[in-house]
A and B are shown apart, each in its own frame.
Chain A
Amino acid sequence: MHEWALAESVIKTINEKKEFVGKKVIVYMGELQAIDMEVFKFAMEEILKQNKKKINYKIVVEESEFKCNSCGKDFSMSEVKKKSEEEKENIHFIPEMVKAFVKCPKCKSIDFEIIKGRGVSLGYE
């Protein structure tokens, strides 16, 4: 249920930033964080009900992309060894923990960047 904490941060930001006034908000969800979409949507609706607010939003899931700082290879989660449930849980809470459990598939370096699909971010249409 840490999705609830993320939903709180999303709603607070949308309410506070003038950029979102009158816009359809896009909630980008990084593949890496593996948010439980049903729990997140439920938390969003419950918090909005409590705040007596309505937000026009949609969720877009982004695939993760990485770039190795050592050899320059671009890679995705599908190219790395399957992670255990425990490892997935740790990455779910702190996406940067991917660096503890993933290496570049080409040169095995742990020095890589998360280019895309990390966690939650907001935009609008």
Chain B
Amino acid sequence: MNNLRIDPREAIIKDRMIAVKNICLVSGFKGGIGKSLISVAVALGLADKGIKVGLLDLDITSSTDHIILGADKLYPKEDMGLLPPEFEKIKFMSFQFFSQSCPLGFRGNSISNAIKELLCVTVWGELDFLIIDMPPGFSDTTMDVIKLFDKFSVIAVSTPSPLSKKILENSVKVYKDMKIGILFVENMAQKAKINSIRFDPKIDKALGDVKKIKRTQFYKDALKIVSKIEGGGV
């Protein structure tokens, strides 16, 4: 007998992603810049085009994708793993299904363990795109995703705020060094520009109602991002 302990979960995670053609992280490193809204809008836009899409909320301690979608009563089914529930033609997985919206006080090791566990047991099946809503900051979740996935692209979100732009500029250097495809998107823009989503004060009132979200200027602008990534622009 010896003290060696090997974690078996990492061996299977890449296999679970084998039928996922594109993994796209929605990242931005600052909080409150609209990563979750953009993740959901992009997933909805892809699904509307008949593209097979999954949405994974990896913002473990502050999941909000379910609130944006109005999908807080979902729960995965078990069949040789966990099957993400389908909502608006999106295969959706979130830690909120398991935390029941209780506060989660997670330190680094718990974050890594929870992510590995979910990725080990989630059976996505065939997907054209898996959109991953990332938490703010360049910390445990980002490191784990880099370690566990062979290939992914990044939608890098910022706002017109110089603080948001500066922190993004510093953080994307890592992705650039790894030769990872990056699409820069400015959210809350003052006016229409390439790869920008205009500030839309009506979006908050549409939260929880997909039909209302799809009628907003925010969503219409986000569809330009959808066309871009669908056409391989990341």
A-B CB pair tally, cutoff 8 Å: 117
Complex alpha-carbon distance, A86 and B100, angstroms: 10
Complex alpha-carbon distance, A93 and B83, angstroms: 12
Complex alpha-carbon distance, A19 and B117, angstroms: 23
Contact across chains for A9 and B113 when beta carbons are under 8 A apart: no
CB-CB contacts of B149-173 with A at 8 A, as 1s and 0s? 0000000000000000000000000
Contact across chains for A97 and B99 when beta carbons are under 8 A apart: yes
Residues of A within 8 A of B99 (CB): 90, 97, 100
Residues of A within 8 A of B110 (CB): 96, 99, 114
A4: which of B6, B76, B81, B102 is its contact (CB, 8 Å)?
A: B81
Contact across chains for B6 and A5 when beta carbons are under 8 A apart: no
Contact across chains for A19 and B4 when beta carbons are under 8 A apart: yes
Considering only CB atoms and an 8 Å cut-off, how many residues of chain B contact the other chain?
38
B2 close to chain A: CB less than 8 A? yes
B6: which of A2, A94, A122 is its contact (CB, 8 Å)?
A: A122
Contact across chains for A96 and B5 when beta carbons are under 8 A apart: no
Most buried by A among B4, B107, B109: B4
Knowing A90-B99, A99-B104 touch, does A125 contact B8 (C-beta < 8 A)? no
Q: How far is the CB of B118 from chain A (nearest CB, A)?
A: 6
CB-CB contacts of A87-109 with B at 8 A, as 1s and 0s? 10010011111011100000001
Residues of B within 8 A of A118 (CB): 113
B102: which of A16, A17, A101, A121 is its contact (CB, 8 Å)?
A: A101
Listed by A's residue number, 9 A-B pairs whose Cβ atoms lie within 8 Å are A1-B80, A5-B121, A8-B15, A19-B4, A94-B118, A97-B99, A99-B110, A100-B100, A123-B1
Chain A interface residues toward B at CB < 8 A: 1-2, 4-6, 8-10, 12-14, 16-17, 19, 26, 28, 69, 86-87, 90, 93-97, 99-101, 109-111, 113-114, 118-125
Can you name 15 extra interface pairs (CB under 8 A) apart from A6-B8, A94-B95? A1-B79, A2-B78, A2-B81, A2-B121, A8-B15, A12-B12, A13-B11, A93-B98, A94-B117, A94-B118, A95-B117, A96-B106, A101-B102, A120-B8, A125-B1
